[in-house]
Amino acid sequence: MEFVKLVGSGNDFVVLDNLNGKIRDGGRLAKLMCHRKFGVGADGLLLLERSNKADFRMRIFNPDGSEAEMCGNGLRCLTRFISLKHFSSKRRLTVETRAGIHETFILGASIRTSMRIVGKPNLNQKITVDGHQLTVHFINTGVPHAVILVDEIVAVQVSRQGPQVRFHPFFQPAGTNVDWIEITGKNTLKIRTYERGVEAETLSCGTGTVAAAIVAYLLNQVNPPVSVLAASGEKLNVDFSPDLEKIFLEGRTSFPFSGTWLLGKKK
């Protein structure tokens, strides 16, 4: 089975053509292919599928086998995959996800995608973590995110605090992704993310980047467009209208390699 490895600002994915619908158990395949030691290694598995509502459909599976509703960097990488494989000559595409239909724009190696907020943000919530009260700002940008403002992002103990917030009773039963942000200017911020389903810090998160920019805007900390520096060292740009009806995420994608998945193949 042929696969492509694509990276969106440090968020890496295994991408497969499933237009024929032959892949039935994406969750099981994600556990195998995303494994860092015994598989290809990735933050998620993306399946390109047919859609009767849009140009294409994206399904995303986390390394633990769970299926996510949406992934901003994943959507950007899937769009790059469509371009690389010449599945469409369009520069503007519509892609169906479990969180709705999104527009994507191919700008060479850079991909722009429309994003949205689901429901109403829940700001300034107090929760107790490790015996200390913590202020979190909850927002759903296709998947749930808890955003936490900090003074020094390098000092955050992501591996320790991440699971405590991610599984906190306040966010159950679905749980949440967790983002720490440091405001560095009126149009700039830094971010680190603990991702649900990956259960670890990732070098970038598209929905988290959007969540961070929107929360910072709602707290009167930044104005659009917002340049967000990921843990990877790469920047993603978030632009949006003042009423938040139009939101766009844009950044680089890279294509490090492709290959053939042999596990399970008859010898």
**Could you confirm whether 205 is annotated as catalytic?**
yes
User: Region 212-217: what's the mean pLDDT?
Assistant: 98
**Could you confirm whether 77 is annotated as catalytic?**
no
pLDDT tens column, 21-54 = 999 999 999 999 999 999 999 999 999 999 999 9
Q: What is the pLDDT of residue 267?
A: 43
pLDDT at 264 over 90: no
Q: What's the length of the chain?
A: 267
Q: What is the pLDDT of residue 111?
A: 97
Copy the structure tokens of residue 242. Answer: 């003042």
- CA 210 – CA 218 distance, rounded (Å): 12
- How many CA atoms does the CB half-sphere of 55 hold within 13 Å? 17
pLDDT tens column, 156-180 = 999 999 999 999 999 999 999 999 9
Is residue 259 very low, low, confident or very high in pLDDT (cuts 50, 70, 90)?
very high
Nearest to 212 by CA among 184, 243, 174: 184
Q: What is the pLDDT of residue 76?
A: 98
Q: Where in the chain is the domain with CATH 3.10.310.10?
A: 2-113+253-260, 122-251
Is residue 265 very low, low, confident or very high in pLDDT (cuts 50, 70, 90)?
low
pLDDT tens column, 174-198 = 999 999 999 999 999 999 999 999 9
Is-contact 38 261, C-beta < 8 A?
A: no
Please tell me what DSSP assigns to residue 66.
P
Q: What is the pLDDT of residue 266?
A: 47
Coil, helix or strand at residue 253: coil
228-240 exposure pattern, b = at least 16 Cβ within 10 A, e = fewer: bbbbbebbbbbeb
- CA 157 – CA 203 distance, rounded (Å): 15
Contact partners, residue 131, CB within 8 Å, separation at least 6: none
CATH topology of domain 122-251: Diaminopimelate Epimerase; Chain A, domain 1 (3.10.310)
CATH topology of domain 2-113+253-260: Diaminopimelate Epimerase; Chain A, domain 1 (3.10.310)
* Per annotation, catalytic residue among 45, 71, 183, 236: 71
pLDDT tens column, 108-160 = 889 999 999 999 999 999 999 988 899 999 999 999 999 999 999 999 999 99
* Per annotation, catalytic residue among 16, 205, 226, 230: 205
Copy the structure tokens of residue 54. Answer: 């849009």
